[in-house]
Amino acid sequence: MGTTETFKQQILQLGADLVGIADATPLRALRTDPDNLLAPYSRAIAIAVRVPTDVFETIQDRPTPIYATAYQASNRILDEIALKAANQLQRAGHSALPIPAAQILDRKHWYGAISHKAVARMAGLGWQGKNLLLITPEFGSRVRLVTLLTDAPLAIDEPIENRCGKCRLCVDACPVDAIHNVNTSTHYDSREEAIDLQRCAEKVTVEFANLPNIGAPMCGICIKVCPFGRRTKPPPST
């Protein structure tokens, strides 16, 4: 398989925009499905694909069909990257388990097999923002995430500093006032500490998911307003 950096370059060549490696041991404190999901693995690989900035500029007060398509396409790309990377690791003699990018196993409490955001934070891709999403320095929250578990002895990346500070753009933009404007230096003890999850979930599942040509729970408003990764210059005139 070569070095960790060689492996990361292979992931980027498959189409990823960011990749980081987390120690799986502290992640065992997370809720997972099944409970022993992480038991065979020592590393969790976080992979991100950027959603183009201009996709979010189509959003005003609700998700758009353009965003819905980009969202779903990003998830498919991530699943393909994770599958191919898992096979690379397996050919090198390691165990590897790709965790689907957008699979919800518990729709009452909105949990998947593992929190991709928590893995990505531990892998140094970004920090947990006030909107509860991962915020990357390069792209803000304009990314989709997938996780690949492995026993390969890859070098571990470290979490990075939270840079939200006093910014409250996502707080003010939320259409249901679900974001509490609570900051964290590492991570929230519970999701409800950061946001009113029920209020957010009702908006995206009852109203937004049923909009024409949307078909899935999504919003994008707090992502659009985040200054990290947002285009600040107008597009060139044609």
Q: What is the model's pLDDT at position 1?
A: 54
Q: Specify whether the CB–CB gap between 104 and 97 falls below 8 A.
A: no
Taking only Cα atoms into account, the Rg of the chain, rounded to an integer number of angstroms, comes to 18
> Considering only 21-35, 123-137, 193-207, 218-232, which range has the smallest mean pLDDT?
218-232
**φ, ψ for residue 217, nearest 5 deg:** -70, 115
pLDDT digits (tens, 9 = 90+) for 60-79: 999 999 999 999 999 999 99
pLDDT digits (tens, 9 = 90+) for 164-174: 999 999 999 99
Q: What is the model's pLDDT at position 232?
A: 60
pLDDT digits (tens, 9 = 90+) for 177-212: 999 999 999 999 999 999 999 999 999 999 999 999
Share of the chain above pLDDT 70, in %: 96
Q: Does residue 57 surpass a pLDDT of 70?
A: yes
CA angle 73, 79, 216 (to 5 degrees): 45
Q: Specify whether the CB–CB gap between 186 and 39 falls below 8 A.
A: no
Which tokens sit at 48?
A: 């991100």
Q: What is the model's pLDDT at position 238?
A: 43
Question: What is the average pLDDT value for the chain, to the nearest integer?
Answer: 95
> Considering only 51-60, 87-96, 228-237, which range has the smallest mean pLDDT?
228-237
Q: Is 182 exposed, middle or buried (0-12, 13-18, 19+ CB in 10 A)?
A: exposed
Q: What is the model's pLDDT at position 236?
A: 53
Length of the chain: 238
pLDDT digits (tens, 9 = 90+) for 117-159: 999 999 999 999 999 999 999 999 999 999 999 999 999 999 9
Q: Specify whether the CB–CB gap between 98 and 82 falls below 8 A.
A: yes
Closest CA to 219 of 150, 138, 131: 131
Strands (E), the chain: 18-23, 43-50, 96-99, 127-128, 134-135, 143-150
- What is the arithmetic mean of pLDDT over 98-103? 96
- What is the arithmetic mean of pLDDT over 7-19? 97
Q: What is the model's pLDDT at position 233?
A: 56
Q: Does residue 235 surpass a pLDDT of 90?
A: no
Q: Does residue 237 surpass a pLDDT of 70?
A: no
Q: Would you place residue 109 in the very low, low, confident or very high pLDDT band (cuts 50, 70, 90)?
A: confident
Q: How far is CA 44 from CA 26, 97, 143, 152, 202, in A?
A: 11, 9, 18, 10, 31
